């Protein structure tokens, strides 16, 4: 016998598959259609189309909530920030991706705190990037999830049932914009991501950070920008916002990061201070040779040349296995002049991005119009 949540999801999927009139209503009048099925929601896209003939899914308690043998296992590290934000009542919904066993253990952690969880309707193989600490921005071999497969899954965590359930349906039917709204992302960023995703996927292996870097002038010192749009440091394990901002001047993303940090400070003040310190450090970002957070670095300007001085022992990098990584570790200083970034006498195909903790006016727009051991390794 299915649980009430599983039964509700099964009934909705069967209704969509069997009733063309309801599918039409869902497409052209989604708010009314969802209300008729017992769902109430705020922001919603103007249409929610469904290609019902392409939908394949298994709906059972083990697939939705995790295998019982994995549920009681211990989490071997702190729960992700997104999960903690939901637990503190700061965010309405989180979506986290890991292996099935990890997500089942995290789901058990969440349910012990009276949160609602659902494992994603699909499983996949991550397309990891070795130059970014194995981080994955793309999913391959997407297929209907089955309990016990051991594949990677998404985990939805919410404070009450409707948010995870609507998130689950969004993942099943491909309602990406609706999912973005449910996760609390700014509407401008949700719209921009949907518009730009084909280019991000095809030209940047799904890396929205690389896409944003490509919108900047070639290999100059860029910024200063607000620390809340620093999604480049995510490849060393630190981020404030989970979404890709629509631009590095996105005020909505800046305000969201400030809000999350302010609310989180009531629960984890020391971690918030650490988060801001980390995200305000300069970042040397490349598409294929690693990402380097120059923690504690100083940047000075003289006669049109920017000099960034740093302690190699305080660098955190997404990879050690590149010529650039070895050069960054050995140098302790890099310069930006005439649109070129140099380490010693070597031209570096990288952006030096600055995110100082500015007070006062926002930095000028710099976007193109068309759009703790020595040398720590983030993957260790």
Q: How far apart are CA 31 and CA 41, in angstroms?
A: 8
- With bands split at pLDDT 50, 70 and 90, how would you rate the model's confidence at 214? confident
Measured between alpha carbons, how far is residue 4 from residues 9, 121, 314 in Å? 9, 17, 51
Question: Does the pLDDT of residue 69 top 80, yes or no?
Answer: no
Question: Cβ–Cβ contacts within 10 Å for residue 229, how many?
Answer: 27
- With bands split at pLDDT 50, 70 and 90, how would you rate the model's confidence at 279? very high
Question: Does the pLDDT of residue 358 top 60, yes or no?
Answer: no
Greater confidence, 214 or 262? 262
Q: How far apart are CA 279 and CA 282, in angstroms?
A: 8
Q: How far apart are CA 290 and CA 133, in angstroms?
A: 8
- With bands split at pLDDT 50, 70 and 90, how would you rate the model's confidence at 75? low
- With bands split at pLDDT 50, 70 and 90, how would you rate the model's confidence at 357? low
Segment 95-144, tens digit of pLDDT: 999 999 999 999 999 999 999 999 999 999 999 888 888 888 899 999 99
Question: Does the pLDDT of residue 375 top 60, yes or no?
Answer: no
Measured between alpha carbons, how far is residue 41 from residues 38, 144, 160, 264, 290 in Å? 10, 26, 12, 25, 41
pTM of this structure = 0.89
Q: How far apart are CA 106 and CA 110, in angstroms?
A: 6
Instruction: Provide the pLDDT for residue 76.
Output: 58
Instruction: Provide the pLDDT for residue 216.
Output: 79
Peptide bond into 251 cis (omega under 30): no
Query: DSSP 3-state assignment of 102?
Result: helix
Instruction: Provide the pLDDT for residue 191.
Output: 95
Question: Does the pLDDT of residue 377 top 50, yes or no?
Answer: no
Q: How far apart are CA 281 and CA 53, in angstroms?
A: 49
Per-residue pLDDT, averaged over 171-194, amounts to 96
- With bands split at pLDDT 50, 70 and 90, how would you rate the model's confidence at 70? low
Q: Which two tokens stand for residue 181?
A: 């709204």
- With bands split at pLDDT 50, 70 and 90, how would you rate the model's confidence at 218? low
Question: Cβ–Cβ contacts within 10 Å for residue 285, how many?
Answer: 25
What are the backbone dihedrals phi and psi of residue 122, each rounded to the nearest 5 degrees, phi first?
-125, 150
Element (H, E) at 99: strand 93-99
Domain boundaries, the chain: 4-184, 205-377
User: What angle, 0 to 180 degrees and rounded to 10, lies between the N-to-C axes of helices 20-28 and 4-18?
Assistant: 100
Instruction: Provide the pLDDT for residue 72.
Output: 57
Question: Does the pLDDT of residue 63 top 80, yes or no?
Answer: yes
Bridge partner residues of 305 (DSSP): 302
Percent of the chain exceeding pLDDT 70 equals 89
Q: Considering only 14-23, 188-197, 318-327, 371-380, which range has the smallest mean pLDDT? A: 371-380
Mean pLDDT of the chain: 87
Per-residue pLDDT, averaged over 260-270, amounts to 94
Output b/e per residue, 21-46; b: 16+ Cβ within 10 A.
Answer: ebbebbeeebbebbeeeebeeeebbe
């Amino acid at each position: 016998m299915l649980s009430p949540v599983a039964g509700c999801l099964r009934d909705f999927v069967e209704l969509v598959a069997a009733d063309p009139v309801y599918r039409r209503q869902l497409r052209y009048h989604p708010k009314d259609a969802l209300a008729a099925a017992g769902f109430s929601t705020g922001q919603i896209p103007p249409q929610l189309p469904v290609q019902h003939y392409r939908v394949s899914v298994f709906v059972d308690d083990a697939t939705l909530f995790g295998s019982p043998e994995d549920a009681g296992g211990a989490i071997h590290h702190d729960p992700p920030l997104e999960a903690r934000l939901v637990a503190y009542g700061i965010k309405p919904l989180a979506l986290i991706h890991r292996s099935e066993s990890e997500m089942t253990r995290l789901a058990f952690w969440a349910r012990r705190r009276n949160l609602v969880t659902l494992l994603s309707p699909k499983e996949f193989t991550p397309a990891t990037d070795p130059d970014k600490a194995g981080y994955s921005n793309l999913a391959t071999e997407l297929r209907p999830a089955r309990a016990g497969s051991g594949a990677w899954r998404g985990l939805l965590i919410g404070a009450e049932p409707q948010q995870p359930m609507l998130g689950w349906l969004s993942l099943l039917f491909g309602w990406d914009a609706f999912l973005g709204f449910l996760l609390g992302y700014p509407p401008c960023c949700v719209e921009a991501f949907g518009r730009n995703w084909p280019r991000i996927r095809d030209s940047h292996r799904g890396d929205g950070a690389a896409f944003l870097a490509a919108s900047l002038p070639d290999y100059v010192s860029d910024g200063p920008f607000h620390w809340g749009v620093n999604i480049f440091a995510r490849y060393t394990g630190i981020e404030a916002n989970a979404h890709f901002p629509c631009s590095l001047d996105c005020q909505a993303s800046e305000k969201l990061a400030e809000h999350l940090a302010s609310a989180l400070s009531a629960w984890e003040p020391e971690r918030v201070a650490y988060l801001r310190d980390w995200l305000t450090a300069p970042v040397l970002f490349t598409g294929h040779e690693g990402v380097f957070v120059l923690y504690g670095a100083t940047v000075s300007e003289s006669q049109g040349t920017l000099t960034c001085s740093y302690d190699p022992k305080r660098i955190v990098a997404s990879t050690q296995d590149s010529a650039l990584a070895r050069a960054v570790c050995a140098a302790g200083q890099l310069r930006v002049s005439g649109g070129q970034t140099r380490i010693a006498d070597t031209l570096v195909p990288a952006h030096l991005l600055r995110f100082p903790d500015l007070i006062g006016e926002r930095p000028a727009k710099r976007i193109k119009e068309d759009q703790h051991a020595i040398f720590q390794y983030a993957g260790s």
